[in-house]
């Protein structure tokens, strides 16, 4: 009796396991069959994982990668796949992509896979939708327009660039991609949080930020030790650091206000923290954002300012370095040397000088067109959409 009872439960467990696995496989591939003829052709890859690993496989930024090359060759520029645990339509078609972006909040909505929310946070501008996204975007545009032409911002950028170039003098070899990373991070941390490159907090944020970046584009499984899990933890530590800086700013502002109320001049040396003009100081004055939104906004600024900036710089240098003799590089030198000749010795560049760099802007635009700066963006269809001859 005992043996037969044991066999019974083993059979139950086996059938249960088989049923569970069959359910996973059916749930994975069922959308592909149900939507047959209604969505572009494609493949779903492995159950659960889909084609996520192939999609995330690293590749040079001057190419679209083997995953997109193979799928576009096989299925066309628009195809169906299974990415980040969800059925997905991938588009490499310029017209369709333009159509999608032009119909934001009408036919499509900004929507990143749920696992990515764990890294970015629930109130991140990258995952927010509708009115919340519009509010955050308007604040972002206002802050950028307020700070981009300020002398302090331009002087900081130029100072960090000159300092970095000076550090190359005694080096036999310079790995520009690494230098571009340092430059971009030092600039963005200085402008957003007011931290200098040699401050201990900057090094701490950089260490966590690199973990954050590695996990952002990784298999979204929260298992201790994985890049995703480390990224979620790193984001939490960065958020804590930002909250601490915000609290310090508020205490400093309260102390300064007290000194002023006691008829002590604002520029008194007894005031430990003079009025700042960085991104965070302006952000703290925005009453339309909650505390969590302000912290998340800082992280979004670090992410957006760092990743795209260093990649674009690296791509520009890469393209300019192609060939033994590059007339584009010579034309850039002529434009920049011409602007420098109009300045006094050690005089900093101003916003009007940057606006004169018309050829430089053309080079930047061409690098954006030729390179792969942003790997992908996610949009969710709010209803079934028919576009030209596509299913």
10-residue mean pLDDT profile of the chain (391 residues): values are 56 58 54 62 80 83 85 91 86 90 86 75 76 77 72 86 90 90 89 85 88 81 86 90 87 70 49 57 78 84 83 90 82 93 88 92 90 81 82 62
How far apart CA 362 and CA 216 sit, in angstroms, is 31
Res 5: pLDDT = 55
375: nearest Cα among 112, 64, 52, 80: 64
80: nearest Cα among 127, 113, 112, 33: 33
How far apart CA 382 and CA 261 sit, in angstroms, is 55
How far apart CA 121 and CA 81 sit, in angstroms, is 26
How far apart CA 95 and CA 332 sit, in angstroms, is 32
At the fourth CATH level, which superfamily is domain 130-370? Cytochrome P450 (1.10.630.10)
Q: Where are the alpha helices (DSSP H) in the chain?
A: 2-34, 52-56, 65-75, 94-102, 114-120, 130-147, 151-166, 176-193, 200-216, 227-261, 279-283, 291-320, 327-341, 351-355, 358-370
Instruction: Give whole-number Cα distances, 138 to 142, 280, 295, 321, 364, in Å.
Output: 6, 16, 17, 38, 25
* Contact status, residue 150 vs residue 254, Cβ threshold 8 Å: no
* Contact status, residue 381 vs residue 106, Cβ threshold 8 Å: no
Distance of CA 180 to the CA centre of its chain: 16
**Can you say whether the dihedral through the CA atoms of 35, 114, 192, 158 is positive or negative?**
negative
How far apart CA 123 and CA 125 sit, in angstroms, is 6
Residues 6+ apart with CB under 8 A from 263: none
Domain range summary for the chain, segments of one domain joined by +: 2-92, 130-370
Q: What is the pTM of this model?
A: 0.76
Place of tokens 């992908």: 376
Rounded to the nearest 5 degrees, what angle is found at the Cα of 181, between the Cα atoms of 176 and 186? 125
């Amino acid at each position: 009796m005992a043996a037969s009872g044991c066999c019974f439960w083993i059979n139950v467990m086996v059938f249960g396991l088989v049923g569970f696995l069959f359910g996973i496989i059916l749930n994975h591939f069922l959308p592909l069959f149900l939507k047959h003829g209604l969505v572009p052709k494609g493949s779903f890859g492995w159950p659960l994982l889909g084609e996520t690993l192939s999609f995330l496989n690293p590749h040079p930024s001057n190419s679209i990668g083997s995953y997109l090359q193979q799928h576009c060759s096989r299925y066309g520029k628009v195809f169906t796949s299974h990415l980040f645990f969800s059925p997905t339509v991938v588009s490499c078609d310029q017209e369709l992509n333009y159509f999608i972006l032009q119909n934001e909040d009408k036919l499509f909505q900004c929507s990143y896979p749920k696992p990515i929310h764990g890294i970015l946070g629930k109130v991140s501008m990258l995952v927010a939708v509708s009115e919340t996204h519009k509010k955050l975007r308007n604040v972002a545009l206002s802050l950028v327009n307020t700070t981009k032409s300020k002398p302090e911002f331009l002087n900081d950028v130029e100072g960090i660039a000159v300092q970095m170039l000076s550090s190359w003098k005694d080096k036999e070899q310079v790995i520009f991609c690494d230098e571009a990373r340092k430059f971009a991070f030092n600039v963005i941390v200085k402008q957003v949080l007011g931290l200098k490159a040699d401050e201990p907090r900057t090094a701490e944020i950089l260490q966590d930020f690199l973990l954050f970046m590695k996990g952002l584009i990784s298999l979204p499984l929260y298992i201790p030790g994985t890049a995703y899990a480390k990224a979620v933890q790193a984001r939490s530590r960065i958020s804590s650091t930002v909250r601490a800086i915000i609290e310090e700013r508020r205490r400093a502002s309260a102390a300064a206000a007290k000194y002023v109320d006691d008829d002590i001049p604002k520029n008194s040396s007894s005031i430990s923290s003079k009025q700042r003009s960085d991104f965070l100081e302006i952000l703290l004055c925005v009453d339309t954002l909650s505390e969590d939104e302000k912290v998340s906004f800082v992280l979004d600024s670090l992410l957006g300012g760092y990743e795209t900036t260093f990649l674009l710089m690296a791509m520009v240098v890469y393209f300019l370095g192609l060939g033994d003799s590059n007339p584009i590089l010579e034309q850039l030198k002529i434009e920049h040397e011409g602007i420098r000749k109009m300045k006094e010795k050690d005089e900093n560049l101003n916003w009007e000088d940057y606006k004169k760099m018309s050829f430089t802007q053309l080079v930047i635009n061409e690098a954006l067109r030729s390179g792969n700066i942003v790997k992908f963006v996610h949009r969710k269809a709010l209803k079934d959409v028919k576009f030209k001859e596509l299913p």
